[in-house]
């Protein structure tokens, strides 16, 4: 995150900037003028040569498309046709479109259901893994296994497990004495099922990130807390959590970015009606709506406007995060 | 972060959770791990491991039954005897074999080029003074937050104009280098590469390419390996853009082929669909089983230090 590049979870100061190199003066100027010219040129230009591949790739495949998408969003464009200028019409159309509000709301609710329990469970798991354990390596790799599973593979497996008629999850529920749940066609069950897929894939990954941050917490903080008679739970709340706050922020931001872009899980979960997010659009996310507008309806201007709304949402989240972390730094007097 | 220098993790500010580059080296006993785990901890961890692994186990079970059996309640819990039949059907009839080769090509190219370019850029940002360094590094980090949704529409038009639709280069080229990789290598090299080494090589009159080859690459090797694995996994599993740029019946990666199966493009049964999922997952699981420790280190180093 741009705002927290220098912050470090363990509270240590950022690494000192490397001393700037004294340059070619370290070397006696050689009589062969061309060599030293070449050498000086090498020293001046080479950093730019090294960073060029990234910035060229970004310019071609990131920045240019980003700006062009912004321009397209102000036009009416049919797939394969020429753009006609419409100003903000695409955006005003979105504001009055029930499909857009539905998708925005779904993105938000699935995002919350998929992110909040996931990060809380990850925090708990990290705490457990932080004890002295037998088989630590096994547990780490086991909870990371879902991360190795692709969106497509995970969703296809869970779609079977969540199948209303023959899926194992309804089977287990029936065995315990519940009625079968309609996981695909009812709104909230479908959103919960999709959130379960996201949670399954990412909980272990976040737990390992928290674990690394927890292990960087200085031991003497815990010792001091113990001497003050703090229980283990108290130590977790008053020592562990505050110490890894920057890392928690990092995971919240990354998960939020991910949740805003949800596409593959709802699409594949919905099977033949995946693009529309179920037969009643009950789990159509912004990404799905954008894809539907662009590649099914062929309205590229509308699709571009949705993409830009997504960027604005993320900027909003980033702004809030920046404010909160600044507020926190002020409180710490740092 | 993998660490080859003779500095303790604590000294260099690297979380000691990160495993060492050398396999078999023990984790340091560090702060926070102050108590032995009680039985409840083990129970909860076993539950977490079970929940993590069960869907993968069940994927294998479902891929070893007939299509009819998979859609019968109660769902099968033990492997059947149809795995080889399903594999050969998926391989030959719905071209999962071709998709596997395509995915291997794409993920390898993306991983190699990302590692190479990220190391060069990371070295420049870590150790070379140049005008605008801080600002440009912030820009690199900022680009990480831009969702792919913002570029796919023009990208789709570009690859269609170039005649690359449904060609693998359309998914390789936009991923030649990643902001995450640049930042990751910079974070590693700032601490792992002593400036004296670079200076000494400069004194000897070495030009930059020699320094890269003889000084930077040897020091960065463990981080390059971790980054390569992370990027390989990401490229292997990438979905959104490949789904737009490729078609299931043309030149798909595994994920695009799976999406085609899941959407019912082919009239295949659920056992074959899940066999496809298995073909996509198993190669990466093998990578994790052998190199999981280093991947764990890479993930944590990339996040904790940002």
Q: Please state, in angstroms and rounded to a whole number, the distance separating the CA atoms of residues A64 and B213.
A: 33
Q: Cα torsion for B117, A249, A145, A191, to the nearest 10°?
A: -120
Cα angle A21, A27, A32; round to 5: 130
Note the Cα A227 to chain centre separation in Å.
39
Which pLDDT value is given to residue B301? 63
Which pLDDT value is given to residue B267? 67
Q: Does A149 touch chain B (CB under 8 A)?
A: yes
Decide: B232 and B107 in contact? Cβ < 8 Å.
yes
Q: Please state, in angstroms and rounded to a whole number, the distance separating the CA atoms of residues A47 and A70.
A: 32
Predicted confidence (pLDDT) per residue in B122-176, tens digit: 999 999 989 999 999 999 988 888 888 899 999 999 999 999 999 999 999 999 9
List b or e across B9-20, with b for residues whose CB sees 16 or more CB atoms inside 10 angstroms. Answer: bbeebbbbbbbb
Its pTM stands at: 0.84
Residue position matching structure tokens 């280190």: B297
Residue B16 CA: distances (Å) to CA of A172, A203, B181: 42, 21, 21
Q: Does A213 touch chain B (CB under 8 A)?
A: yes
Which pLDDT value is given to residue A27? 47
Asked whether the beta carbons of residue A61 and residue B173 sit closer than 8 angstroms, the reply is yes
Asked whether the beta carbons of residue B36 and residue A132 sit closer than 8 angstroms, the reply is yes
Residues of B in contact with A295 (CB under 8 A): 244
Q: Please state, in angstroms and rounded to a whole number, the distance separating the CA atoms of residues B153 and A293.
A: 11
pLDDT surpassing 80 at residue B13: no
Name which of B143, B150, B203, B254 to mutate to probe chain A: the one with the most chain A Cβ atoms within 10 A of its Cβ.
B150
Which pLDDT value is given to residue A219? 87
Residues of A in contact with B74 (CB under 8 A): 168, 171
Closest-CA distance, B109 to chain A, in angstroms, reads: 15
Which pLDDT value is given to residue A230? 87
pLDDT interval class at B230 (50, 70, 90): confident
Which of 290-309 (A) contact B at CB < 8 A? 290-291, 294-295, 300, 303-304, 306-308
Residues of A in contact with B205 (CB under 8 A): 27, 39
Cα angle B87, A171, B67; round to 5: 25
Decide: B159 and B170 in contact? Cβ < 8 Å.
yes
Decide: A300 and A79 in contact? Cβ < 8 Å.
yes
Note the Cα B217 to chain centre separation in Å.
21
Predicted confidence (pLDDT) per residue in B262-291, tens digit: 876 666 788 999 999 999 999 998 887 777
A29-33, A212-216, B78-82, B255-259 — most confident range: B255-259
Residues of A in contact with B156 (CB under 8 A): 294
Asked whether the beta carbons of residue B190 and residue A308 sit closer than 8 angstroms, the reply is no
Which pLDDT value is given to residue B182? 96
Asked whether the beta carbons of residue A215 and residue B13 sit closer than 8 angstroms, the reply is no
Which pLDDT value is given to residue B303? 56
With a pLDDT cut of 70, the percent of chain B lying above it is: 84
Predicted confidence (pLDDT) per residue in A163-195, tens digit: 988 899 999 999 998 998 999 889 999 999 999
* B29 vs A44: which has the higher pLDDT: A44
* A161 vs B92: which has the higher pLDDT: A161
Name which of A19, A215, A303 to mutate to probe chain B: the one with the most chain B Cβ atoms within 10 A of its Cβ.
A215
Dihedrals φ, ψ of A75, to 5°? -125, 165
Decide: B271 and B89 in contact? Cβ < 8 Å.
no
Query: How would you classify the pairing of strands A84-85 and A75-76?
Result: antiparallel
Q: Does A183 touch chain B (CB under 8 A)?
A: no
Residues of A in contact with B142 (CB under 8 A): 2
Asked whether the beta carbons of residue B154 and residue A307 sit closer than 8 angstroms, the reply is no
Please give the residue of chain A at the shortest CA–CA distance from B279: A153
Which pLDDT value is given to residue B268? 74
User: Closest to B13 (Cβ–Cβ): which among A12, A131, A157?
Assistant: A12
Q: Please state, in angstroms and rounded to a whole number, the distance separating the CA atoms of residues A103 and A282.
A: 8
pLDDT surpassing 60 at residue B30: no
Asked whether the beta carbons of residue B74 and residue A168 sit closer than 8 angstroms, the reply is yes
Task: Name the least confident of B5-9, B87-91, B191-195, B251-255.
Answer: B5-9
Q: Strand, coil or helix: what is A54?
A: helix
Closest-CA distance, A188 to chain B, in angstroms, reads: 22
Q: How many CB pairs under 8 A join A and B?
A: 373
pLDDT surpassing 50 at residue B111: yes
Q: Please state, in angstroms and rounded to a whole number, the distance separating the CA atoms of residues A262 and A259.
A: 5
Q: Please state, in angstroms and rounded to a whole number, the distance separating the CA atoms of residues B141 and B300.
A: 17
Asked whether the beta carbons of residue A46 and residue B301 sit closer than 8 angstroms, the reply is no
Helix, strand and coil in chain B, % to nearest 5: 70, 0, 30
Which pLDDT value is given to residue B72? 84
Low-confidence ranges of chain A (pLDDT < 50): 1-30, 334
């Amino acid at each position: 995150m741009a705002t927290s590049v220098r912050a470090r979870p363990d509270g240590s100061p950022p690494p000192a900037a490397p001393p700037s190199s004294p340059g070619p003066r370290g070397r006696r100027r050689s009589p062969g003028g061309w060599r030293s010219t070449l050498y000086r040129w090498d020293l001046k230009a080479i950093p730019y040569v090294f960073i060029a591949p990234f910035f060229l790739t970004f310019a071609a495949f990131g920045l240019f498309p980003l700006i062009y998408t912004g321009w397209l969003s102000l036009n009416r464009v049919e797939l394969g046709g020429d753009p006609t200028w419409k100003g903000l019409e695409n955006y005003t159309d979105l504001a009055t479109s029930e499909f857009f509000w539905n998708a925005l709301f779904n993105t938000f609710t699935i995002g919350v259901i998929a992110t909040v329990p996931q990060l809380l469970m990850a925090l708990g798991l990290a705490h457990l893994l932080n004890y002295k354990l037998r088989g630590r390596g096994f547990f780490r790799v086991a909870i990371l296994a879902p991360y190795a599973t692709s969106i497509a593979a995970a969703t296809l497996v869970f779609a079977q497990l969540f199948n209303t008629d023959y899926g194992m999850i309804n089977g287990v529920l029936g065995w315990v004495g519940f009625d079968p749940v309609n996981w695909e066609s009812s709104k909230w069950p479908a959103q919960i099922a999709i959130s379960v897929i996201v949670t399954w894939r990412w909980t272990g990954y976040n737990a390992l990130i928290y674990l690394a941050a927890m292990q960087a917490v200085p031991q003497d903080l815990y010792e001091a807390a113990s001497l003050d008679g703090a229980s283990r739970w108290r130590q977790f709340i008053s020592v562990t959590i505050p110490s890894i706050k920057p890392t928690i922020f990092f995971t919240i931001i990354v998960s939020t970015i991910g949740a805003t872009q949800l596409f593959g899980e709802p699409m594949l979960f919905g099977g033949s009606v995946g693009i529309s997010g179920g037969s009643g659009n009950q789990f159509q996310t912004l990404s799905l709506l954008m894809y539907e507008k662009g590649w099914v309806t062929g309205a590229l201007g509308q699709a571009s406007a949705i993409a830009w709304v997504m960027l604005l949402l993320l900027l909003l989240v980033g702004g809030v995060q920046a404010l909160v972390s600044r507020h926190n730094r002020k409180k710490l007097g740092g | 972060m993998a660490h080859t220098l003779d500095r303790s993790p604590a000294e260099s500010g690297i979380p000691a959770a990160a495993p060492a580059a050398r396999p078999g080296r023990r984790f340091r006993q560090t702060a926070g791990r102050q108590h032995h785990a009680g039985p409840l901890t083990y129970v909860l961890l076993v539950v977490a491991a079970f929940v993590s692994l069960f869907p993968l186990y069940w994927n294998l079970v479902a891929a070893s039954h007939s299509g009819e059996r998979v859609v019968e309640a109660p769902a099968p819990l033990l492997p059947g005897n149809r795995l080889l039949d399903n594999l050969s059907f998926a391989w030959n009839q719905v071209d999962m074999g071709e998709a596997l080769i395509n995915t291997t090509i794409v993920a390898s190219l993306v991983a190699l080029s990302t590692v190479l370019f990220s190391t060069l850029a990371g070295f420049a940002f870590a150790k070379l003074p140049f005008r605008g360094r801080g600002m440009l590094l912030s820009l690199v980090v900022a680009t990480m937050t831009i969702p792919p949704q913002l570029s796919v529409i023009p990208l789709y038009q570009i690859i269609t104009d170039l005649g690359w639709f449904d060609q693998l280069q359309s998914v390789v080229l936009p991923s030649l280098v990643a902001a995450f990789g640049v930042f990751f290598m910079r974070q590693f090299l700032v601490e792992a590469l002593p400036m004296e080494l670079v200076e000494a090589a400069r004194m000897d009159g070495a030009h930059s390419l020699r320094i890269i080859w003889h000084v930077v690459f040897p020091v960065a090797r463990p981080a390059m390996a971790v980054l390569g694995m992370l990027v390989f996994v990401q490229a292997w599993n990438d979905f959104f853009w490949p789904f737009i740029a490729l078609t299931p019946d043309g030149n798909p990666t595994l994920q695009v082929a799976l999406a085609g199966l899941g959407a019912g493009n082919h009239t295949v049964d659920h056992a074959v669909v899940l066999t496809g999922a298995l073909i996509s997952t198993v190669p990466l699981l093998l990578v994790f089983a052998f190199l999981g420790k280093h991947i764990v280190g890479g993930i944590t180093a990339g996040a904790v230090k940002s």
